[in-house]
Amino acid sequence: MKDQVIVITGASIGIGAALAAEVARRGARGIVLAARREAELATVAKSLGDIPTLVVPTDVTKRADLERLRDRTLERFGQLDVIVNNAGRGISRMVSELTDADIDDMMTINVKSVVYGIQAVLPHFKQRKRGHIITISSGLSRFPLAAQRSAYSAAKAAANLVMASLRMELRAQFPDIHCTTVIPGVVATDFGNNALHGGVDNRKLPGAQPVEEVAVVIADAIATPIAEVYTRPQLLELAARYFAAPDVAVLEGQPPFSR
């Protein structure tokens, strides 16, 4: 990691800020912090100590902002090794309640932003024949554990397949451009508070995973690239049970799906 320049979106708080601290601790060559809130980014940057850091105010729903993020990174460091597509937003609406605007919002911030990030860095990665694209997904992309997160879950499932399709696209000609999808469960952040139409505070939910633990999993995936990683082994075990079930509806009638 000491030779790598790492770009993190959604870096002003939560998982993004914790990841910045973790890769700084591991001695990254440079860290680029991106989010809409410049003051909060500056606070995170100050907390990282002597690691070379660049703050770039960025709205990930705008393709031009991701391209500017790439350009500013290359101007400062001369290289870009890892991009972590971490910015995202949830929703609190059942399928029967969703509006066109709800769906558009979820797809824009959780899927189109990932595509914008990928397409911004890919020419640089192809030129160097190496790089690492990481997208933070969600356990809700695999399991219907929270029906009110309907459109968010669907958007994250779409992001998973974008990443898998990208791996297939690159693997023959660019085997050293790695694509990693990170799948957390409930994380102790203000994700719920910031959900479209409101929501519960994730930090108050039982068993919420500390952001520091999630950051360690992501940093480990940077150090040793892997296609997909769950941030807790229980999620991987649940995935094995769920997708192997002859009828998933039977499992959906049991905990942890039904409480």
Residues carrying an active site annotation: 152
CA distance 134 to 181: 6
Structure tokens, 74: 């290359």
* 3 state DSSP class of 179: strand
CA distance 243 to 149: 20
List phi, psi (to 5°) of 97.
-105, -10
Strands 82-85 and 131-136: parallel
How close are the terminal C-alpha atoms of the chain, in Å? 42
Q: Which residues contact 14 (CB under 8 A, 6 or more apart)?
A: 187, 189, 190, 191, 211
Neighbour tally for 95: CB within 10 Å: 10
